[in-house]
Chain A
Amino acid sequence: MNKLMKKIMISVVLTGVAFALYQNFSLMPEYQGLNEGLSNYIIKSGLNDTGSLNLITAVLYDYRAFDSLGESTVIFGAVSGIVLILSRKMLPVSSKGLSFIVKRALGIMTPFIALFGFYVITHGHLTPGGGFQGGVILAAISIIFSIVYGSAFDYRRYSPQTKTLFETGGALTFLGLGLAGILMEGAFLQNLGFLTAETGTLISAGSIPYINIGVGFKVGAGLAIIFYSMIQKTFEEDF
């Protein structure tokens, strides 16, 4: 009897899922041949739909935003697994860093690298770039600190707790904008209409710049956490 009930429940749930899938599938447009497919539609009306000058960002964070959420979840899973396997309580001081000249010269250059990273993140909807690329540049700053100033320097300034805070904050920004899309526009990760402005300005394109900033902080902090989990006490001497 119990088994029969279980089978009935399973078939009811499966029927519901099939009905929902059919509902969504019937909303899709007819097959229009390979020449008039989706790419032509995006090229023609992507700017009107999203307000983003960079069509790749429009696809990544508006049309396929759910896919990008999955990608950042993949990064989150990778960071969690690597930290779980490789983390240790005390960070080993692997080196004293490079010579005085390199330290001072990088002290001059590092603010410009950070500025370039933030530029790539915040102008993701106007110029080539976006959250993932700018986040990698921000993570490179952390790696440069570890190599040039010794691994204890960056550890003292930005502890792993701070980096974890940045990463979860970025992920929560992404999810919060998705839930705001449900509340205000009616679909998950729908572009928020009230945030649009004149095309080409810095704060335009709905929720795309904010998703970019969240993804940038998430990727940068995640890659820095991966790097600091993986460095070993390999090079003792200073070069």
Chain B
Amino acid sequence: MTLRLIISYFLMITGSAFAIVTVLGLLRFPDVYTRIHAGAVVLTISAVLVTMGTAIYVWDLFLSAKIVLIGIFFLFSNPMATHAIARASYKRQIALPEEYEIDAYSDYLGRDA
């Protein structure tokens, strides 16, 4: 009983710490792609951890299943949206590609419609 609460609090606090790291990354990173990277990777695991902690906290079969579904939704939607934003900002040249030494994405352009 109390062990379940401790586990859920641990998961939620870890997720909140990852969210704080996300905000730090969004504020401190120099340009658009590194900021997108912070938002994609760290925010996804933060949301998934918070939803897992909430699912363990309520501990009811159907309610927990719904919350886990929300977590899976985050797992799909956040990287997808970040990918769309990064691709659009590359094509619109928000940050100029000439500023970077390595531009691996230009090799792949035009292959997927």
Binding site for B on A (CB under 8 A): 96-102, 105-106, 108-109, 112, 237-239
Contacts and interface: CB of A to CB of B under 8 A. Distances in A.
Contacts of B113: 96-97, 99-100, 238
B92 A109 contact: no
A148 to B, nearest CB: 9
B88 interface: yes
Interface residues of B, number: 13
B4 interface: no
A65 B11 CA distance: 46
Given A99-B113, A112-B69, 10 more contacts: A100-B112, A102-B83, A105-B80, A106-B80, A108-B76, A109-B76, A109-B77, A239-B84, A239-B88, A239-B92
Contacts of B112: 99-100
Main secondary structure of the interface of B (DSSP, over half): helix
Contact of B73 (A96, A99, A112): A112
13 contacts: A96-B113, A97-B113, A99-B83, A100-B112, A100-B113, A101-B80, A102-B80, A105-B76, A105-B77, A109-B77, A238-B113, A239-B84, A239-B88
Report, nearest first, the 5 A-B pairs whose CB atoms are least far apart: A239-B88, A105-B80, A100-B112, A102-B84, A101-B83
Contact of A237 (B69, B76, B91): B91
Interface in B82-113: 83-84, 87-88, 91-92, 112-113
